[in-house]
Amino acid sequence: MEETAARRSSPRALWPQARSVVMLGLNYGPDEDPRLALADASRGAISVYARGDDYHELVKGKLKRIASRFVPRVGGPENVEVKVFVDTAPLMEKPLAAAAGLGWQGKHTNLVSREKGSWLLLGAIATTLELPPDAAERDHCGSCRACLDACPTGAFPAPYRIDARRCVSYLTIEHRGPIPRALRPLIGNRIYGCDDCLAACPWNKFAQLGREARLAARDENRNPALAELARLDDAQFRARFSKSPIKRTGRVRFLRNVLTAIGNSGDPSLAGEAERLLADPEPLIRGAAVWALSRLVPPDDFARLASRHLPGEPDAEVRAEWDTSLESAA
């Protein structure tokens, strides 16, 4: 983020010819409270936006169709240029959306709409056309801090500020290495993203059910069994999540998340899934399996597993995970 700070300072830093930005929001309101998925620790909780098809291509296609129509609609010249953006460029969508009147950035730093609540996917159309600005939306959070208090990992050092290093969404999606040990127990069964701060917002009483069928939750992504997910090889992972944003995270990080949830499940019947993954070719998965087992099996059994697997472990980080877990188990 430090490397791209200058590019995020203004849309013109990305495209000097830009004169206006049209911001759009697509409602993806869920058909149930996503916090219900946290009730069964033997099953995984997937963020609402990732339970259906990948929104990136979907929203981009809608933006392109709108962009092709709105230039003639506003009477612009034929040489007007447009570019569309959906998360893939360092464009500050949320403050732009607030400036355009779609909503305001709440204390959880996400956009909140008085009509749609917290469930909005944002897209932007930048254009060389000069357009009159809409009025910005004012902040309606007041003294409420429900979103801040809902965060399982304490990722908000202050209202309107987020420490991404503690955010479950960052840790389970973007973070590439082992999840910090102190945060693992706090993640619970969240295996891809987190909706807690969004779901806690009282403005969601005005939220509406999303109408885009491709964003609707697939049944297999509502509360998938952790044991089933732990058995996915690379080909099975790609097939299962072929049209999902989860596919971009890859099997390795996804199974790291699944094993973290298994370690948090308190269910000894899942220990066999973790033990089998001690032999996985990927060090990140083996290390997560070590931690999960340290939480599920008695210390003596864990020590016996270490005596079998630790001497031949080639990865220094996994060996360190064994050593730290053995100390904790003891």
87 is catalytic: yes
Find out whether 123 and 59 touch, Cβ atoms under 8 Å.
yes
Identify the DSSP state of 73. H
Considering only CA atoms, give the Rg of the chain: 22
Residue 104 token pair: 């305001």
CA–CA gap between residue 262 and residue 271 (Å, rounded) = 8
User: Rounded distance, CA 151 to CA 156, Å?
Assistant: 8
Q: What are the residues facing 105 on neighbouring strands?
A: 111
- Here the tokens at position 300 are 């003596």
Give the span between the Cα atoms of 265 and 288, in whole angstroms: 14
Question: Among candidates 49, 60, 57, 52, which has minimal Cα distance to 24?
Answer: 60
Which of 31, 33, 87, 280 does the annotation list as catalytic?
87
Q: How far apart are CA 178 and CA 168, in angstroms?
A: 13
Alpha carbon dihedral 321, 325, 326, 330, in 10-degree steps, equals 170
- Quote the CA–CA distance of 81 and 79 in Å, as a whole number: 6
Among all residues, which ones are annotated catalytic?
87
